[in-house]
Amino acid sequence: MLNSTLSALGAALAAKQVSAVELTGLFLARIRALDGKLNAFITVDEEHSLAQARVADERRSHGAAGPLTGIPVAHKDIYCTRGLRTTCGSRMLAAYTSPYDAHVIERFDAAGAIQLGKTNMDEFAMGSSNETSHFGPVRNPWDTARVPGGSSGGSAAAVAARMAPAATGTDTGGSIRQPAALSGVSGLKPTYGVVSRYGMIAFASSLDQGGPLAKSAADLALLMNTMAGFDARDSTSLERPAEDYGRELNLNLAGLRIGLPKEYFGDGLEPDVRACVREATRWFEGQGAKMIEITLPNTALAVPVYYVIAPAEASSNLSRFDGVRYGHRAGEYADLAEMYRRTRAEGFGTEVKRRILIGTYVLSHGYYDAYYLQAQRARRLIAKDFAEAFARCDLIMGPTSPTTAFALGAKADDPVQMYLNDIFTIPAPLAGLPGLSIPCGFDATGLPVGLQIMGDYFAEAKMLGAAHRYQQATDWHLRAAREAPL
């Protein structure tokens, strides 16, 4: 059961081989057994989960079940939940409970899914290793001395360790795909605007996008069918007809044009990562796909552009944490200005403060043109690279991350090294494009490697189809993590 896909769990529930209460109990027990070691969850409320499971069983008995009714799903602690506190990995919100649910949470609740708990994350989703969390680092289930990736590291580790059959995440510059790669699970960042940002605590609003993490591409499709959809409360939510994200799972690979960007296979790529990704792309070639050498010439600009735009937006978004309306408030202060200063000094961690300082600087009068405006121009060039590439190919493939999981602490004191880990995941969100990561092998020390598949706007179904075909022929995605044996 722990290693089953969502459709298998749904079938077991439908056949009454297991009840939602039993299934939820099974995953809660797994969390109890493993989370002391992995720290993937910030909040678990067993009673709350079991109460939802009882309702799901009731619903199933009335024949009113959908594919996710009774299935436990863990949520990144960036999604506001009325029933469980929402911390965003920060001391600022350590005691915060939202008065409303995020749109994504509403959708999962309406589908009858069970909230299994809130997963650990980098503070305000700023990080690539889960080390910036106020609640301590998450450990990688393949090697507990290593990071799981970030910022959705808790979600990735929970799925990898089979503590949850699926989880939600968010991706601003790679936070779904990079932890999926480093933890050996599948993860999808949809086209910007497909999943509502309502109730998803804002980091960089022009980049943030919610998406699922699970064991397989077919499971991601099932989750997307619930997560995606128009929401008038998010002004950037796209009003499009509902789609079935699983409609192309049997994609015909013969003649499919796959672009291999030369910038994604250059120096700095670990040899084992290169070898696994190459072997995966050769598999597609063996199925009749046409491999096309392409170039995305402005790739090197992506990280610097992102580290102007994302902090700029963050500095504005995080101004709301002022100790007045919600969250932490300093205990002692002489006047209002000191209350703000102390609250923010105490409530935010180092990385968040660094981003607020950078963001405030690049937006300040006198520097705006030199940094922010210039970054917006370069962002256009990156989008143009992709537009030209997608005129020649259907999908783009490459590594998700240049390395496998690194050791806890290895990059913690060197922000630039940490930022460079996202070199292959940052370009797609700058262009608003979808991307996914699936397991495609292991390095010499047994750590998982991720294959990234990018597509044009709204190409999620095709990307999931290509990933599913690969997962039918390989079993990398079903291997159990070393430190969390089944």
State the catalytic residue, choosing from 4, 19, 49, 175.
175
Secondary structure of the chain as H, E, C letters: CCCCCHHHHHHHHHCCCCCHHHHHHHHHHHHHHHHHHHCCEEECCHHHHHHHHHHHHHHHHCCCCCCCCCCEEEEECCECCCCCCCCCCCHHHCCCCCCCCCHHHHHHHHHCCEEEEEECCCHHHCCCCCCCCCCCCCCECCECCECCCCCCHHHHHHHHCCCCCEEEEEECCCCCHHHHHHHCCEEEECCCCCCCCCCECCCCCCCCEEEEEECCHHHHHHHHHHHCCCCCCCCCCCCCCCCCCCCCCCCCCCCCEEEEEHHHHCCCCCHHHHHHHHHHHHHHHHCCCEEEEECCCCHHHHHHHHHHHHHHHHHHHHHHCCCCCCCCCCCCCCCHHHHHHHHHHHHCCHHHHHHHHHHHHHCCCCCCHHHHHHHHHHHHHHHHHHHHHHCCCCEEEEECCCCCCCECCCCCCCHHHHHHCCCCCCHHHHHCCCEEEEEEEECCCCCEEEEEEEECCCCHHHHHHHHHHHHHHCCHHHCCCCCCCC
Residue 76 designated active-site: yes
Task: Examine residue 127 and tell whether it contacts ligand GLN (CB under 6 A).
Answer: yes
Task: Tell me the site size for ligand GLN, rule CB under 6 A.
Answer: 13
Q: Which of 104, 126, 164, 396 binds ligand GLN (CB under 6 A)?
A: 126
Nearest residue (CB) to ligand GLN, 68 versus 356: 356
Given 128, 317, 437, 452, the residue binding ligand GLN (CB under 6 A): 128
Q: Which residue is nearest to ligand GLN (CB)?
A: 175
Among 385, 422, 456, 483, binds ligand GLN (CB under 6 A): 422
Identify which of residues 13 and 126 has a Cβ nearer to ligand GLN in the complex: 126
Q: Residue 111: which of 151, 80, 66, 72 has the closest Cα?
A: 66
Residues 269-288 binding ligand GLN (CB under 6 A) are none
Nearer to ligand GLN, 147 or 251 (CB): 147
Beta strand 435-442 with 114-119: parallel, antiparallel or unpaired? unpaired
For the question of residue 37 being annotated catalytic, the response is no
Nearer to ligand GLN, 246 or 399 (CB): 399
Work out whether 119 is an interface residue with ligand GLN (CB under 6 A). no
Instruction: Catalytic residue, from 19, 49, 76, 186: name it.
Output: 76
Q: Does 263 bind ligand GLN (CB under 6 A)?
A: no
Q: Applying CB under 6 A, does 450 fall inside the site for ligand GLN?
A: no
Residues 19, 120 contacting (CB under 8 angstroms): no
Q: Rule CB under 6 A: which of 136-195 touch ligand GLN?
A: 151, 171-175
Decide: is 125 part of the binding site for ligand GLN (CB under 6 A).
Answer: yes
CB of 330 to ligand GLN, least distance (A): 27
Q: Which of residues 196-255 bind ligand GLN (CB under 6 A)?
A: 203
CA 470 to CA 477: how far, in whole Å?
Answer: 10
Query: In terms of CB distance, is 173 or 349 closer to ligand GLN?
Result: 173
Q: How far is the CB of 15 from ligand GLN (least distance, A)?
A: 39
Cβ at position 301, least distance to ligand GLN in Å: 16
Q: Considering only 19-27, 97-105, 123-131, 362-370, which stretch makes contact with ligand GLN by CB under 6 A?
A: 123-131
19 an active-site residue?
Answer: no
Q: Which is nearer to ligand GLN, 128 or 191 (CB)?
A: 128
Least distance to ligand GLN, CB of residue 85, Å: 20
Comparison of 204 and 294: residue with beta carbon closer to ligand GLN? 204
Binding mask of the shown chain, residues 310 to 329, with x at each position contacting ligand GLN by CB under 6 A? x-------------------
- We find the least distance from the C-beta atom of residue 47 to ligand GLN, in angstroms, to be 31
Residues that bind ligand GLN (CB under 6 A): 125-128, 151, 171-175, 203, 310, 422
Question: Which residues form the catalytic set?
Answer: 76, 151, 175
